[in-house]
Chain A
Amino acid sequence: MELICPAGTPASLEAAVEAGADAIYCGFRDETNARNFPGLNFSREELRKGIAFAHRHGVKVLVAINTFARAGSFELWQAAVDDAAAAGADALILADLATLDYASRRHPDQRLHVSVQAGAANPDAIRFYVEAFGARRVVLPRVLNVMEIATIVRESDCETEVFVFGGLCVMEEGRCSLSSYATGKSPNMNGVCSPASDVAYTERDGRISSTLGGFTINSFGKNELAGYPTLCKGRFATPKGSGYIFEEPVSLDAAVMLPALRDAGVTALKIEGRQRGRAYIAEVVRSFRDILSGLDKGQTASSAGLAAMAEGQTGTVGAYRKSWR
């Protein structure tokens, strides 16, 4: 199985290559990619140099252009596709139908991957992307258990890629409107979930409160671990009590699931975290490279041992062992 690793900066890209990535995914410094955060991402020149560096080390670069094109500004997404192809990207990771259509017509030889943002979670949806646009790989949403993934692999004429470590969405990837509701900006359209410009932290009576777009979404006592300031990880008061409703601050750690994912026929394993620093990239990539090497020798890991890197310093196997539907 290939190890697909994130890079938010050229330094992170080099760190991922040196740590043992098979492929790196990254994006441009604009709203065409779903990690459009301050100080992050690649200029056109940085991408060209990054791809050249990766290729010298036998590593592929996949360019995420995975937001949904805004009406009246499609040229921004077209330019991103053209420039990534010209820079020598090994694949483009796309979600938007119009962008997929443009890329498949304009660059028929360019390998296309379907982003997790497309939410393609069944063989029929995947078949559509393959037949309509020649998609070669689909990044599966984090809603599926291993049995469902095995079924999809069996019934699809397309490679599959699944997340194995990092932040979790609330299983509505590409369709989540929580950030839009609070701030008017979303990962789907603007590339920012809970944009930093709309986040604030305030201290009162020894507690830190986080607000998003003016809404108080969480409050931490001195002894509590923190998570990202997103609505999905906010705490809510309900008639049945107060607490986390959508998701607790935890990170996916599917190291223990790797043998099952391999047996299911998964092609590639993806690490989340383009917004993270190069310390995270180096440590997580190295850890999963070691686990994969061990797997080849018949060894299995109980976890990636990356507690310090995890949101809330807690790991979960997420939906991979889910028994409900």
Chain B
Amino acid sequence: MRDPETTELQGLPPRLPQWLARAVAPLPLAPLQPALALMLARISRAYPELYDRLGEHAEKRFGIDPTDLPFAFVLEPKPGRPVVRAVRELPEGLDASIRGPLAGLIGMAEGTFDGDALFFSRVLWVEGDVAAALALRNAIDDARIDFDNILLGGFAPLATRLSDALRKRVRSLPALPGGRAWN
């Protein structure tokens, strides 16, 4: 029975517009691969403590599925030889998959959204090895990855201004309806 003292509350990340998903759907994924590989290699070198927190889970295969985009990522953090690739759909046999809107996944990685809060609101969902997914979440949260610097290196100051503008634009998009949209 619900406690009479309870109060209902709200608060969710935005979801990318469907026209954007439709617009990028026909694009080939192959050109993404070099950029993804470079980004992961930079993260792996710049944040070695990630592997300390991942422990045994560093050898596992993770699926990262932005549910408002028509593609997903398979991540293998393996120390010294990390691999990431873009896929149309997550394959079978992954150890763990994390699904949620792009803004939620990025916000969680940047430390602006709390993973448990997104889970409670049904915005984010985990399948497979929950311990591996938790270890990945906690390792990334602690690492405080500077994505602007990772993505654009020496252009980071310009990138920061651009990404701040982009974030403002994304935040102005409508939030998920009641946080109940999931795939």
Binding site for B on A (CB under 8 A): 8-12, 15, 37-40, 43, 195-197, 199-203, 208, 220, 222-228, 243-244, 248-250, 253, 275-280, 283, 303, 306-317, 321
Contact = CB atoms under 8 A, between A and B. Distances in A.
A38 B9 contact: no
A222 B141 contact: no
Interface stretch (B28-36, B117-125, B156-164): B117-125
B116 A223 contact: no
B8 A314 contact: yes
A14 B107 CA distance: 19
Residue with the highest number of chain B CB atoms closer than 10 Å, among A253, A306, A310: A310
Interface range for B: 35 or more
B139 interface: yes
Contacts of A9: 53, 138, 141-142
Contact of B134 (A196, A279, A312): A196
7 contacts: A38-B57, A38-B138, A208-B125, A222-B182, A248-B2, A312-B120, A315-B7
Interface in B96-145: 107-108, 111-117, 119-122, 125-139, 141-144
Closest 6 CB pairs of A and B: A307-B9, A308-B11, A39-B138, A39-B135, A9-B142, A38-B135
A314 B122 contact: no
B136 A39 contact: yes
Nearest to A315: B7
Nearest to A197: B131
Contact of A225 (B3, B5, B113, B121): B121
Given A38-B134, A277-B114, A313-B179, 10 more contacts: A39-B54, A197-B129, A197-B131, A201-B130, A224-B122, A228-B116, A275-B116, A279-B108, A311-B120, A313-B11
Interface of B: 1-3, 5-12, 52-55, 57, 107-108, 111-117, 119-122, 125-139, 141-144, 178-180, 182
Contact of A316 (B5, B113, B132): B5
B177 to A, nearest CB: 10
B179 A225 contact: yes
Contacts of B1: 243-244
A183 B135 CA distance: 19
B11 A307 contact: yes
Given A11-B111, A277-B111, A279-B114, A226 B119 contact: yes
A15 B54 CA distance: 21
Nearest to B177: A223
Residue with the highest number of chain B CB atoms closer than 10 Å, among A279, A314, A315: A279
B3 A39 contact: no
B123 to A, nearest CB: 10
Contact of B180 (A10, A40, A223, A249): A223
Contacts of B178: 223
A271 to B, nearest CB: 13
Residue with the highest number of chain A CB atoms closer than 10 Å, among B113, B120, B128: B120
A315 B9 contact: yes
